[in-house]
Structure 1
């Protein structure tokens, strides 16, 4: 760290010199304009970029030696999350159909990227979404609504064994994944662009906390899918009413934890977040009741019901984690 003393000129202007090596490395000359951005922690960012536009970053993949579609898909997702605005996929030979299918799946599973150029041996993807058009809170609200309804429908699947509804719950998990990847992408972009952080009126700590909560909601959605997967494995025939009621009770507690954790997040209520964490114990007891009742069933039924109870419990515990993150974020401003 270089220490430089502040000078006062004209009786009212505070002046500090810039490091010569830094100025020369950026080719800064006399009378060049520089941007000054006040950071949430009080530090001052000096930047040559005063356009306040999103930085354009390009990534190129040569898929000549990539023969695993799943690997290519993961590379594309990683590039998307990293914040690349242009992705080019090339090959020394004609692009195989499997690669084009991966590209199609990628554009359907993400928000923003579209194919803007295509030839026999290359495909160019361009991100058409302005990060400012998708505020973090709107994304979190949408994820919350989708996941909550997934759990409500999972309970219906258990009661009705409706295969179409089970398929729909699983399909909606893709929407949750897309939104979680979007939050991850915006987080990376903002951490690399202080101007964008200022324009979106979000601090670095808020961005990171929002990403953590988004990731937790995505995991809660995964357990809704596991619930319906285990409901599909149950043998034909109705379950005893006391078992159904036990699952309904545990699911209600779990959803209540989820509701209250999200409310405490949006209302910045640190005390309600703390109260919510204290309710996790009641959920654990309700899930133990399901396990005890499941012991009287046939082995296949018992295993599926215990797995359902585990998913309900994990969802509630993840909701408690959201409340913990709310406390961790708010502790500086509320206490």
Structure 2
């Protein structure tokens, strides 16, 4: 399940601008131009006369400046106190937030001991978060270490892999509906955790990149592209969620007889919705504006198919058929959402191609 980090972006972009200082250029001799360094920055890095400063010219013409000897960053440690009667889901959400904020060590301290529910929440959270490892554990304290180095992870490959899993989930969910295959539907449901793991990993990379110019450079993207990539991976994660919902409804139908005309129409809708999503992600990765625009225009065909499906839904009056069509309606709604998310990705693809 996705979380929205846009507020985080705004706060930190603002914090960058609030740190800006003006310095006048001074002339030293006939050709030298000198700019004084901010005293706070000099003191922070313990710079002395004769120390070297490295300057790197950025693509936008700005200068990136850092000391010759880089400052060794201390591990960021977070301690979280866990109340015995903490609300359901709070521990898992705190763990995810700690992960997204890139703490090196997370110390969980229970008021008395970790309850069975809290232990289950912790295990569930850890399954979603790549690179976290429990290094110490007792009845009232758990220490978790982050083993990932974000600059070593290939952003493009991670997004592509998340997409491949979500795409496979969509195809298999549609196939499970067509052939009334509950076992295949169960496989789709189990894959959702893999997409969640990629989502949180990529979101963590992008959040950190927005406040760390060296990480942005290592990832080979610009700050504005961080927002593009985050929006896309959120939509991919949502697509996987709805593929899971489709599979769950297929299992609820459990091979029951369904109106053939309605199923045929939903399958046509499903293949078209999948095409919107597939073309949109391809357009984003390839920066293909023509393909992205084609994906957006497919929405008109989907509206026509949905109107036809609604009329058939309204005609179902037999109690057994009404029961089944409720699940089919849920499937249709999820397919429509998949197409919507594909359209969002296609729009980002056009924006990114013209940046």
The two structures have a TM-score, normalised by structure 1, of 0.89
Q: Is 1:308 matched up with 2:305?
A: no
Q: 2:349 pairs with 299, 302, 326, which one?
A: 326
Alignment of 1:53-132 (within 5 A): 56-65=75-84, 67-132=86-151
Match of 1:217 in 2: 236
Which one is further off, 268-277 or 176-185?
Answer: 268-277
Q: Is 1:41 matched up with 2:60?
A: yes
CA 1:268/1:50 → structure 2, altered by over 3 Å: closer, same or farther? Answer: farther
**1:271-300 C-alpha deviation (Å, 9 max, x unpaired):** 322232122111222222222233333322
Q: 2:284 pairs with 250, 256, 265, which one?
A: 265
Match of 2:340 in 1: 317
**1:296-323 C-alpha deviation (Å, 9 max, x unpaired):** 3332223222221111111111101001
Q: Is 1:148 matched up with 2:167?
A: yes
The whole-number CA distance in structure 2 between the counterparts of 1:281 and 1:12 is: 65
The 8 Å contact of residues 52 and 196 in structure 1, kept in 2 or not, is answered as no
Q: 2:245 pairs with 204, 226, 234, which one?
A: 226
Please give the secondary structure, in 1, of the residue aligned with 2:136.
strand
Please give the secondary structure, in 1, of the residue aligned with 2:86.
coil
Q: Is 1:203 matched up with 2:222?
A: yes
Please give the secondary structure, in 2, of the residue aligned with 1:288.
helix
Match of 1:285 in 2: 304
Q: 1:237 pairs with 253, 256, 276, which one?
A: 256
Match of 2:16 in 1: none
Q: 2:185 pairs with 142, 151, 166, which one?
A: 166
Give the superposition deviation at 1:220: 1.1
Alignment of 1:180-195 (within 5 A): 180-195=199-214
Give the superposition deviation at 1:269: 1.6
**1:100-137 C-alpha deviation (Å, 9 max, x unpaired):** 33333322221000011223431111111121332111
The 8 Å contact of residues 205 and 329 in structure 1, kept in 2 or not, is answered as no
The two structures have a TM-score, normalised by structure 2, of 0.84
CA 1:23/1:262 → structure 2, altered by over 3 Å: closer, same or farther? Answer: same
The whole-number CA distance in structure 1 between the counterparts of 2:134 and 2:347 is: 41
Please give the secondary structure, in 1, of the residue aligned with 2:145.
strand
The whole-number CA distance in structure 1 between the counterparts of 2:21 and 2:93 is: 42
Which one is further off, 130-139 or 48-57?
Answer: 48-57
CA 1:159/1:3 → structure 2, altered by over 3 Å: closer, same or farther? Answer: closer
CA 1:201/1:289 → structure 2, altered by over 3 Å: closer, same or farther? Answer: same
The 8 Å contact of residues 261 and 319 in structure 1, kept in 2 or not, is answered as yes
**1:207-236 C-alpha deviation (Å, 9 max, x unpaired):** 221111000111111111221222233375
Give RMSD over aligned pairs. 2.6
Which one is further off, 280-289 or 158-167?
Answer: 158-167
